[in-house]
Each structure stands twice: as C-alpha cells, then as structure tokens.
Structure 1
Amino acid sequence: MSTLRQRSAALLRRVTPGLHTVFVLARQGVIRPLRPDKLLRIILAWRRWGITPPLGFAVGAVRHPDRPAVIDERGALSYAELAQRTTRLANGLRDRIPRGTRIGVLCRNHHGPVETIVAAAKLGVDVVLLNTGLSTQQLNDVITEQRVGLLVLDAEFRTHLPDLPEGIDAVLAWTDGTTRHDTLENLIAISSAQRPTRPTRQSRMIVLTSGTTGTPKGARRPDPPGLAPAASILSRVPLRSGERLLVSAPLFHTWGLAAFQLGAVLGATQVMRRKFDPEQALSAAQRNQCTSMFAVPVMLQRILDLPEQIRTKYDHSALRIVVSSGSALPADLATRFQHAFGPVLFNLYGSTEVSWVSIATPQDLRAAPGTAGRPPRGTTVRILGDDGTPVRRGATGRIFVGNDMVFEGYTNGSSRESRDGLMSTGDLGRIDAAGRLFVVGREDDMIISGGENVYPKETEDAIARLPEVSEAAVIGVDDADFGQRLAAFVVLHEEGGLDTERLRERLRDRLSKFAMPRDVVFLDELPRNATGKVVPRELLDRLRS
C-alpha cells in the first residue's frame, strides 16, 4: 500500500506541471479548439520547427493570418506576411553566411530584427544580438569572439563598417532613403518563396551581458523545452492571447527578447518604435490600443517625468499590464507609477543568465513597493550563506535560482557558480515572512565601511524617496579612513531644489552613519547604457572630475 501511494505521488508530481501548463495556456486563450485542418497544419509546423521562433509565427499564420504581427513606424505586417517574408529572407541569406559562422544583429526595435531572428532559425543558424550602444572597438571584439560572418544592421550604424574585421558581409535592415548597400527588403523581394529544407540543428540566440563593468560577454540562451516557461510567466502576469503589446525594452536585451518570444506564443500584435521617447510611447499605446507594455524602469521614470498636462492628454485606459524588468525597480517609482496609472505594474526580477527569478504583482508592490515578488510555479529560489547553506528567513544572503530557462553558459566557456542544481544570480537578497523576495544589491556592490557591511541600494532608495529627487545612483569608493565610503549621484526635478547639506540632513533619520553618502554629486542625468542600466565606471569618472 505504501509503495502504491509512493508511485501515485510520483506520478502526480510528473503530471501536475503539465496540467498546470495546459490550464494556464487555456485560461489565457493560447490553447483553444480548432478546426481539424488547422490543427493538422499546426502539428506539421511543430514537427518541422520545434519550439523555435518560426513555430509561433507559423501558428499565427494558421490561426489568425490577417492579424498584425508587428507594427512599427513603417506600418503593419500580418502573421501570414511575416511567415512568407521570413521564408524568402531565409533563402536570400543562406548563401551569404560563411559555414560555421553566425548572424550578428545590430538593430533597434522594428520588424527587421524580428524577421532576421525567424529567418535564421529556419536555417538553423545562430544569432548574436548586439547592443546598439557598443563602441566600434567593443563591436569589433564581440564580432571576432562570436564568429559573426554576416552582420544585419540599421543604416545609422554603418559608420562602424570600415573598422570591422575584414571580410564581414553586411545587410542593412532599416534605411532612410536610397542606399547602394544590400537590404533585407531587397533580399525578401528577389528570393524564392519555396520553403527551406528542415535545418539539421536548432538555431541558438546569443545575448550579450550588459557590460556595465567591462566588455560584454556572450550568453547562450536555451530553446524553451516546451510551453511550460511561457505558462510560468503567464501564471503571474495575466497576458492574454491577442494582446496588443508595446515592446519598448530593446530586442537585443533579454527582457525585450522575452517580450518578443511571449508575444509569439500569445499571437500578439507587437508594437515597436526604434527609439524610446516617453510621449511617443504614450501616443503609440493610445493609437494602437495597446493592452500591455514591456519596459525597463528608466522608461517608466521618463514617462512620469513628463509634465502632467502632456501625460494626461493620452488615453491609457486600455493599458492593463505594464511589466518592468532589466534593472532594479525603485520602490518610490513603483508607488508613483501605480498612483498615476492604476494597479497595472508588474516587476520581474531576472537576469541574462537565469531568465526570471520572481515576479511582483500590483498587489505585491502596493503592500511592499520594494519587493521583487515571488517565484512563479516551476522556479526555485534559495537564499544561501557564504558556506552554501540556507540562511534564516529574513536574513540577507546570496540568491540562487533554478528554472527551465537557466542559460547554457557563456560563449567563452565559463559559467556562473551553481549549488545543488541552482545558479547564482550574483545578487544579495532576503525573503520576508510573507515569502516576498527583496534584492539588496549586487554581491560586488556591498562595501565594508568602518567595519560595517553597507548596501548602496538602501541609500539609493532613501534618496530616491525624497520628493525633490528624480533619480539617484549610489556606489562604493575607496576611503583612506574607513576603507570604503558611499558616493551618491543625484538628479533633481528642478535645479537648486536641494543641496548636499540639506540632502544629508533629510537622510539622517533614515540611514545609519555608515550608510550616509560622504560624496554627493548632482547631475543633469545619470550615465546609462542602451538597456537603461547605470554605468558605474562613468559615475567614477564624474566623481574624479
């Protein structure tokens, strides 16, 4: 009897995740009854492509061929059009890619990178998503390290071409006016519409780390093992089939890529603009009746910084979900955004290496604005001490996580530390009595000042809560007397609204002596990279100057 119960329990553990996936996908409209002929076409597409980008658009071409798949500044492309165009593009690119090399994509958000990713997957060729903020030297280094043989780039970045490795082939994605270079549109126009043969291997997408502390590294993103990863996110963020999704996060970043992948699963219409502008984002959301938005925190900050008379002239009543990720969401920003837009904000904490870790719902953010939320189903999060054992509830330790989409390692052969099947995020955090995760900061951000452990994020959040402050960043610097000290970099809403002494005075009741910033530098804006993350080395340059 005991053996039977054990077998039943083991069977239930195996079956339950699958049932949960089906339930979530059915609830969100991803799975629904279909005519037998359409179902057969979808099964054949799945057998051909597996769980890869072409499948999502092939399914869309069967289920809703006329629905816009991508809307950008050039107009709309339907699911049927995108499926056909990517077949032509795959045929046009096949002979342009030297054997054993990859396609590099240096593009802003528009249909070009979407079509390139899908076409590459139809060929079984790896894609390297390149950060648009890379210097020519960084781009050169990455292209060489990642064995990029063909570069797809927007025309605005072609000034890099003369200094790139000799023999690099290039195709322009977005162009303004006429050009003598080859373009994606030309390849699509002249290439065969015959379906390419099934690739012998699945394409991999390589995303670069943020590079805020050095040269970006390539991280190999795994193919989803099925639809369970999508269901895991949808269990906490209730996106629905057919969403109108404003993708403001850059596609070359893990978060923008996640929006693209989820959008394909949902059969969503993905609305994109090449460059983020806060007013244009609100205008695009209204014009296209967007129901959801994927953004990084600095974008939400820029929207709130708009004068109220500009912000309120746009109707955002259709916008029911705004998902923020890519960098830490300040508690004060979470509170102010929900005050202005209602209970629509979700905060996803994750990284290039581990994908998602936890998700905070609007209710979580109302109860504890600084939280990173709770892990969704299928994700394990543990807080471990330096010796690798779990810390007590509420204590700060190293964050380790496990899920279906942990990365396969860096392309240089290195990886991140793992313990008992869980991977380090590189962050410090704690879990409160309600099971909510709080990220204290990066492991290498913590400083020891006068013998005390000090976390810059605590000081950063305290400064950001001051009404005169638009945004702030705090870093540790060397100190002859205390070993290390904190330096704060502050952007004010209005010049002269606060000086160093008044800022420190306002913080005295909120921070310990060692958490008080010894240096305060007022800036017009914080130095950020193309993904919106603050660049610490540039802050140090500002301090020294």
Structure 2
Amino acid sequence: MTELGFTLKVFRQIGMMKPILPHKMLGAGLQLVKWGPGFPSGVNAAAKRFPRQLAIIDDAGELTWSEFAAQINQLTQALKDRGIEAGDSVALLCRNHRYMLIAMIAIMQAGGRVLLLNTMASRSQLGELAKRENASLVIVDQEFLEVAGDVDQDKVILAWADDDAPAGLPSVAAISADQPTKGHSKPARNGQVVIFTSGTTGLPKGARREEPADLKPLVSFFGAIPYRGNATIVLAAPLFHSWGLINFGFGLSLAPTYVLRRRFEPTRVIKDIEEQKADALVVVPLMMQRMVDADPEVIKKADVSSLKITASSGSALAGELANHYMDTFTDSVYNFYGATETGWVTIASPTDLREAPGTAGVPPFRTTVRILDAEGKEVPRGETGVIHVGNDMPFGGYTDGNTKAFSDGLMSTGDLGHFDENGRLFVSGRDDDMIISGGENVFPRELEDALIDHPDVADVVVTGIDDDKFGQVLAAYVVVKDGKSLTEDDIKTYAKEHVARFAVPGKTMFLDELPRNPTGKVMKRELPEFE
C-alpha cells in the first residue's frame, strides 16, 4: 500500500473523514491551521466538531468538549493576567484529572513550557527544579503542597483542591471562574512539554518533546494501534509520563471520551470499562498484573467485552503477563516499546504476543529500527546488538543541553536486542544491565521472565552483583504471594528448570514489596544490598 493509501485508511479508521456539518468541519480546520498539530488544536477542533459529546469523566464529574475548551480558555487568560508569557515555564505536579489537563493546555495556549513532574518527586527536587528551570508558577494537587514547601508560596496554585484546602491559596477553578471563555490568539512561540525522569536519587533530567510538524506521527501510531473515532478511553497510565501523555495527545484527533481517575484501583478500572463500555484502556504493565490479580468475583461478573485495545508501555511485560491478561479479559493487548526520548520503536499486536510471547513487536509505519554493533555496523538477523531507531517523533534534547547518542541518523535506545526470523524485535535489556558470569553474557530479564511465572511469586526483579568465583552473578529480589512461602533453594531449583545454568541466581532476597515508581519501573538504587 502506498503512503497516501495507508494515510487515508488510518484517517477513515479514526473518524477524520466522517461526514460532518460543513460549519463544524470548517471550524475544526481553522483550529488546525491556527495552532498547527498539537494539544491546543486537538482540543479546540474537537470542541468544534463534537461540542456536546463528553470529553472527560473523572472524580469530579463530567465535561463536554465545549466545556473543556471553554475552561482551558478561561485559565489561559488567568495565567496571562498573572504575567505568563511565551517561553515562560510552569511546573505541574498532578495526578490524572481535568485540572491537570486544563492547566497543561492553557500553559501551551499561552506559549509556555509545561514542566511535567513525576508524582514521586521530593520536596528538595521540586524546589531545585523550579529554580533550575526558572518556573514562574507551580501548579500542584493539594496532596503535594508539602512537596512544594520550598517554592515561593506566591507562585503556588492548586490544581485538585479538596474541601479542606488552605484558605487564601488560589486554585485553577477559582482563578478561572470569572474569565472569558472566548478563544485566544496564537502566541509568539509554540508551547512545549518537558517530561522529567523519576530521579530516584539526584535531580531528574528534563526531556523536551517538540510538537510534531505534521500528522505523520499520528498515522504511524494509529496504523499500529487501531483506535476508532469517538472511542471511550480509560486512561489509567499517569499523564505526567510520556505513555499516558502520547495517548491523550494523539487521542485528541479521535474526539474521544477520556475516563480519568486520580488513583489506580483495579476493580474501579474494571467497573469503568463495563459501565462506560470502554473501547480502550491505557496502562503500564504493573496495572495489568494488578487487574489479573483483582477480586475473582469482580472479574467474573464484569462484562468487559467492549474492550478492543489495552495499550501498554512504560516498562517491560514480564513473562506470560500479556497472555494471562488476555485469557482473563479480552485479546486486546498492544505493547508499545519506546522511551520518552525515542518515541516508539516497535509495537506488538495481540497476535504477535500470542505467537511470540515476550516480543516487543515490529516497527510501525515510517519507523526504521536497526541493530548495530559497537562499531555502528548492522548485525545479522538473530544476533544481539544495540537497538537504534528513527521515526517522525522529534526529540528536543535534555534541558541541560545534552542529547542521546546517534549513529547514521538513528538514535540509540541504550537497549540490547535482536530480530527473529519473522522480523519481530526481542529486547534483552539495557546495555549496562548485561553481566558476564563465568565468561557468559547474561541478562537479568531472562531470569525475571521465568521467576514471575512461578505460581507463588507475586513480584520479582533481578540485578547483577559481584562474585569472587564467577566475576558476576544474578541476584533475585522476590516478593512472595500472600499465604505462600518460598526459600532460596526453592527459587534456585525452579530457575534450574527454566533458564540456562549461568542465569540461575547466585543469591536471593525476599522483600515485602519492590520499590516501584508510578509507571511500574523498579527503582534499583533503592533495593537493599546483599551482604
């Protein structure tokens, strides 16, 4: 199929070629011309096309697209009244809800830089980041006021405010209330989003995401994950993370209904899918595991047959999780492999995951992926090397002026992997995670995938540690399921039956829980050391 033919097919799929009243289509088109591809045009165009359709269902209630756009316009004016100009930075520390999105898009409509902070940011990190990035304002949920304690309190605005909010502290809702709802002119420079790493120790790095120049990235994304126009999307992945953000941003072209909750609760998500007849669910793998482990009676009674897409990313899918999930709910898992810096690399469909468990999938439309050796030469299919990618998602570099390594125009992911005979990518792990044990190259992921499938293991992570005999060995940190018991010998015996001898753990430590961030990644620097 030609590029034009593929593009038209995707546009029909997502409803962009659906018949619509001329004045609505004209209004939407003018918004795209005015703002260019990006969040402001997406919201304003959806409000022109489907003004009365629900845009957001969250813990505060419901908003239509016209109400959503109006409240964004009101906050845009309120921010301008507080001196926010094009190029100014505003930090956001929020969970998933309407006020987070209203604030983010209002900042962009004013031409500002949105600093999206991880909800695990510490008080010192937020204070130092606000100073380093010269934040003019800091917008936080009430629960994070203590985290914002080192910021000039005159700069603090509440996003989500509870009934007991401190008197005199301005909120997004309050400062927007009496502002005009009319649209705004395009600022002197486009708004920008900066996503920050979790920063488990030290100061997080900021990764700038540039607005795409055209709709090609949208075609690539929806060509691989078959979203439909006017879908209902349960967006459970955190919006401060690139995975939640990309699904919201690209999803705007669908004019969908987003279902947001401030906190992830497996049974609430299952009920939201049933009650809203949701077409799609956006998660990180840890959420999938918790849904599989949810109350069996809730799972049994729930009708989730509407669910066509479970879009997963943020960390690796462990073991047979994708198939366990699809056996429990619907054959709907689309696994996105990529990073904040790279955008997507590959996407695995339900068929890919059924036929080749553990695969990261295949490169989507207009995406080039090559496996290169240390000299930058492409390795033969089946051999392992560093994964490099090129696509239409521009990375604007880190806010400290650094960027990722490139080879022949392709960005290094920093991961090692290989393609199988069917062109499916398999990721072995980070290039700095590999250890050499007794002369063998060993990756922690092989052991993790094996141990997570043990019937008594609830969670596991594997790292490399020094060893006098073998140089290095794998060490497993294991969380045992409630009511079960395991010993170190049990783990070794099981591992010997499922992995090569050099991947059997040299040591095992049992923990009550693993230190994970909101996207499910284990913060290895917080793991206790072996004696």
The residue number in structure 2 matching 1:464 is: 452
The residue number in structure 2 matching 1:44 is: 30
Q: Secondary structure at the match of 2:479?
A: strand
Select 2:461's aligned residue among 473, 477, 483.
473
State the distance in 2 between where 1:232 and 1:261 align: 14
Whether the 8 Å CA contact 1:354–1:401 is kept in 2: the answer is yes
Change (3 A) 1:383 1:168: farther
TM-score (normalizing by structure 1):
0.94
Question: Is residue 2:267 matched to residue 1:274?
Answer: no
Select 1:211's aligned residue among 199, 209, 222.
199
State the distance in 2 between where 1:470 and 1:85 align: 43
Deviation at 1:485, TM superposition (A): 1.6
State the distance in 2 between where 1:82 and 1:496 align: 49
Report percent identity of matched pairs: 42
Matches within 5 A, 1:435-454: 435-454=423-442
Select 1:365's aligned residue among 353, 360, 363.
353
The residue number in structure 2 matching 1:392 is: 380
Deviation at 1:518, TM superposition (A): 1.0
Select 2:89's aligned residue among 99, 102, 109.
102
Select 1:62's aligned residue among 48, 64, 82.
48
Whether the 8 Å CA contact 1:285–1:316 is kept in 2: the answer is yes
The residue number in structure 2 matching 1:533 is: 521
Q: Which amino acid aligns with 2:301?
A: K
Whether the 8 Å CA contact 2:118–2:197 is kept in 1: the answer is no
Deviation at 1:516, TM superposition (A): 1.1
Change (3 A) 1:212 1:385: farther
Whether the 8 Å CA contact 1:30–1:240 is kept in 2: the answer is no
Q: Which digits, 9 at most, give the CA deviation of each residue in 1:389-431, with x for residues without a partner?
A: 0111111110000001141111100011101111011111110
Question: Is residue 2:248 matched to residue 1:242?
Answer: no
Whether the 8 Å CA contact 2:319–2:450 is kept in 1: the answer is no
The residue number in structure 2 matching 1:431 is: 419
The residue number in structure 2 matching 1:34 is: 20
Matches within 5 A, 1:169-180: 169-179=155-165, 180=167
Whether the 8 Å CA contact 2:414–2:430 is kept in 1: the answer is yes
State the distance in 1 between where 2:295 and 2:302 align: 12
The residue number in structure 1 matching 2:220 is: 232
Coordinate RMSD, CA, aligned? 1.7
Select 2:109's aligned residue among 98, 122, 139.
122
The residue number in structure 2 matching 1:8 is: none
State the distance in 1 between where 2:83 and 2:407 align: 39
The residue number in structure 2 matching 1:17 is: 3
Q: Which digits, 9 at most, give the CA deviation of each residue in 1:434-482, with x for residues without a partner?
A: 0000010011111112222111101111111222222211011222332
Q: Which amino acid aligns with 2:34?
A: R
Whether the 8 Å CA contact 1:97–1:150 is kept in 2: the answer is no
Matches within 5 A, 1:294-443: 294-443=282-431
Whether the 8 Å CA contact 1:92–1:192 is kept in 2: the answer is no
Q: Which amino acid aligns with 1:66?
A: R
State the distance in 1 between where 2:219 and 2:171 align: 37
State the distance in 2 between where 1:527 and 1:210 align: 12
Greater mean deviation of Cα atoms: 393-402 or 496-505:
496-505
Select 2:471's aligned residue among 467, 483, 502.
483
Greater mean deviation of Cα atoms: 314-323 or 506-515:
506-515
Deviation at 1:316, TM superposition (A): 1.1
The residue number in structure 1 matching 2:125 is: 138
TM-score (normalizing by structure 2):
0.96
Question: Is residue 2:67 matched to residue 1:81?
Answer: yes
Deviation at 1:141, TM superposition (A): 2.3
Greater mean deviation of Cα atoms: 284-293 or 62-71:
284-293
Whether the 8 Å CA contact 1:52–1:121 is kept in 2: the answer is no
Whether the 8 Å CA contact 1:235–1:377 is kept in 2: the answer is yes
Q: Which digits, 9 at most, give the CA deviation of each residue in 1:271-323, with x for residues without a partner?
A: 00001111111122222221110000000111111231232222211112101
Q: Which amino acid aligns with 1:451?
A: G
Deviation at 1:503, TM superposition (A): 1.6
Q: Secondary structure at the match of 1:245?
A: strand
Q: Which runs of 4+ in 1 moved over 6 A?
A: none
Number of equivalent positions:
528
Q: Which amino acid aligns with 2:396?
A: E
State the distance in 2 between where 1:160 and 1:525 align: 24
State the distance in 2 between where 1:407 and 1:17 align: 23
Q: Which amino acid aligns with 2:98?
A: H
State the distance in 1 between where 2:31 and 2:122 align: 40
Greater mean deviation of Cα atoms: 57-66 or 432-441:
57-66
Question: Is residue 2:186 matched to residue 1:186?
Answer: no
Whether the 8 Å CA contact 1:244–1:292 is kept in 2: the answer is yes
The residue number in structure 2 matching 1:284 is: 272
Whether the 8 Å CA contact 1:70–1:76 is kept in 2: the answer is yes
Deviation at 1:19, TM superposition (A): 4.0
State the distance in 2 between where 1:214 and 1:493 align: 33
Structure 1, unmatched stretches of 5+, are 1-11
The residue number in structure 1 matching 2:486 is: 498
Greater mean deviation of Cα atoms: 113-122 or 251-260:
113-122
Q: Which amino acid aligns with 1:300?
A: M
Q: Which amino acid aligns with 1:198?
A: K
Q: Which digits, 9 at most, give the CA deviation of each residue in 1:21-59, with x for residues without a partner?
A: 232111332222333322221222122211121111111
State the distance in 2 between where 1:212 and 1:393 align: 36
Whether the 8 Å CA contact 1:151–1:168 is kept in 2: the answer is no
Select 2:510's aligned residue among 522, 526, 544.
522
The residue number in structure 2 matching 1:512 is: 500
Q: Which digits, 9 at most, give the CA deviation of each residue in 1:79-133, with x for residues without a partner?
A: 0011111111100011324555301110000001111121112111110101010
Q: Which amino acid aligns with 2:508?
A: V
Deviation at 1:160, TM superposition (A): 2.2
Structure 2, unmatched stretches of 5+, are none
Q: Which amino acid aligns with 1:327?
A: S
Q: Which digits, 9 at most, give the CA deviation of each residue in 1:350-405, with x for residues without a partner?
A: 10001111110000000011000001011110000111001111111100000011
Q: Secondary structure at the match of 1:312?
A: helix
State the distance in 1 between where 2:114 and 2:203 align: 19
Deviation at 1:495, TM superposition (A): 4.1
